[in-house]
């Protein structure tokens, strides 16, 4: 069982618990992006196991009727084993999701995986006509070109600042520079993306949230906000109450500890919150 401190950030160990959490979000007009925790498998067997868990998850999401989609990490379905393994596993997930009308996000990991991940996104998004999305990271210098490449792909792009510590020749290191790039990338998406290319704003930063709202009005475009479970839940609820489309990223699974530890370290507020929960 997941201890009470951790279950602010992780929905539980089972898909059922994640779907129950999605249902409780749905009652607040928030949709869920469900993610089975796991990453960096170097052998085909664990990658195939996680693929199978995703197939079950897609079926369970569909059967539940909850407003939920799924998100998968390339390294948990075999990108470190090889491109072919990754693409075969992703195809299995996307094709079953397509028959059940469940959207599939592909998270973006470190820069060594960007090309293979984007190639798979572009191929599957075109083949499955919009049922797939991918994350792009504003801290990478290449991202403005990648956005140009995907601007007419029938799918969705989640823009984030980037969670990986990348080499300085290929990435922006200063926070202010990353923020500047995030704004520029968002503006490009709102102004240049074709209608079939959807926009996901993956940030907890109020300045970016307010900027996206301005851009949405200026360009009269649909878009969605995406935030992590346990991070600015009050803002997620406020946006949903005001009628914006909001998705919460909901991780679950046996490998919850590492994820929880990262979230708790990330923010003093989270650490204090965790401590308060422990101390009663
Ligand atoms: P930051 O720049 O970290 O912070 C800006 C401001 O936001 C802070 O000053 C504060 O006011 C507010 N804030 C941020 N965090 C908190 C908090 N915990 N509590 C209270 N206020 C806070 N990265 C990837 O590299 N690949 C992915 O596939 C990926 N997927 C993601 C999916 C989702 C739905 C989200 C939300 C993020 C994802 N990320 C991913 C992580 C992302 O790259 C950032 O590392 C992370 O979101 C932090 O950046 P930020 O824009 O939220 O705000």
pLDDT score at 265: 77
What is the SS3 string spanning 24-36?
HHHCCCEEEEEEE
pLDDT in tens, 115-139: 999 999 999 999 999 999 999 999 9
pLDDT in tens, 32-46: 999 999 888 999 999
Instruction: Work out the mean pLDDT of the chain and round it to a whole number.
Output: 94
Any ligand 1 atom below 6 A from CB of 71? no
Any ligand 1 atom below 6 A from CB of 249? yes
Distance 161 CA to ligand 1 centre (A): 7
pLDDT in tens, 135-179: 999 999 999 999 999 999 999 999 999 999 999 999 999 999 999
Specify the range with the lowest mean pLDDT, choosing from 12-26, 173-187, 262-276.
262-276
Any ligand 1 atom below 6 A from CB of 138? no
Question: Could you tell me the domains of the chain?
Answer: 4-279 (3.20.20.220)
Q: The pTM is what?
A: 0.95
Distance 202 CA to ligand 1 centre (A): 7
Query: What confidence tier does 266 reach under pLDDT thresholds 50, 70, 90?
Result: confident
Instruction: Report the DSSP beta bridge partners of residue 201.
Output: 159, 225
Q: Which two tokens stand for residue 236?
A: 């997620």
pLDDT score at 261: 82
Please give the share of the chain, as a percent, with pLDDT higher than 70.
95
């Amino acid at each position: 069982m997941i201890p009470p401190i951790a279950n602010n950030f992780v929905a539980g160990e089972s898909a059922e618990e994640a779907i129950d959490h999605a249902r409780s979000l749905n009652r607040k007009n928030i949709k869920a992006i469900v993610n089975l925790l796991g990453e960096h498998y170097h052998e085909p067997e664990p990658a195939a196991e996680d693929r199978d868990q995703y197939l079950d998850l897609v079926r369970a999401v569909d059967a539940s009727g909850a407003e939920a989609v799924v998100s998968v990490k390339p390294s948990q379905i075999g990108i470190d084993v090889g491109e072919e393994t990754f693409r075969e596993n992703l195809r299995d997930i996307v094709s079953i999701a397509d028959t059940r009308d469940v959207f599939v996000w592909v998270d973006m990991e470190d820069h060594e995986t960007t090309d293979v991940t984007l190639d798979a996104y572009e191929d599957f998004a075109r083949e499955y006509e919009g049922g797939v999305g991918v994350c792009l990271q504003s801290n990478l210098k290449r991202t403005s070109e990648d956005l140009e490449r995907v601007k007419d792909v029938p799918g969705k792009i989640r823009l984030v600042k980037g969670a990986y510590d990348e080499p300085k020749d290929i990435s922006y290191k200063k926070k202010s520079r990353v923020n500047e790039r995030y704004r520029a990338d968002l503006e490009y998406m709102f102004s240049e993306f074709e209608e079939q290319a959807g926009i996901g704003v993956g940030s907890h930063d109020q300045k970016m949230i307010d900027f996206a709202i301005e851009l949405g009005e200026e360009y009269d475009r649909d878009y969605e906000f995406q935030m992590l479970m346990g991070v600015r839940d009050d803002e997620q609820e406020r946006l949903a109450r005001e009628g914006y489309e909001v998705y919460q990223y909901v991780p679950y699974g046996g490998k919850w500890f590492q994820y929880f530890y990262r979230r708790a370290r990330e923010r003093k507020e989270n650490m204090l919150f965790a401590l308060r929960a422990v101390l009663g």
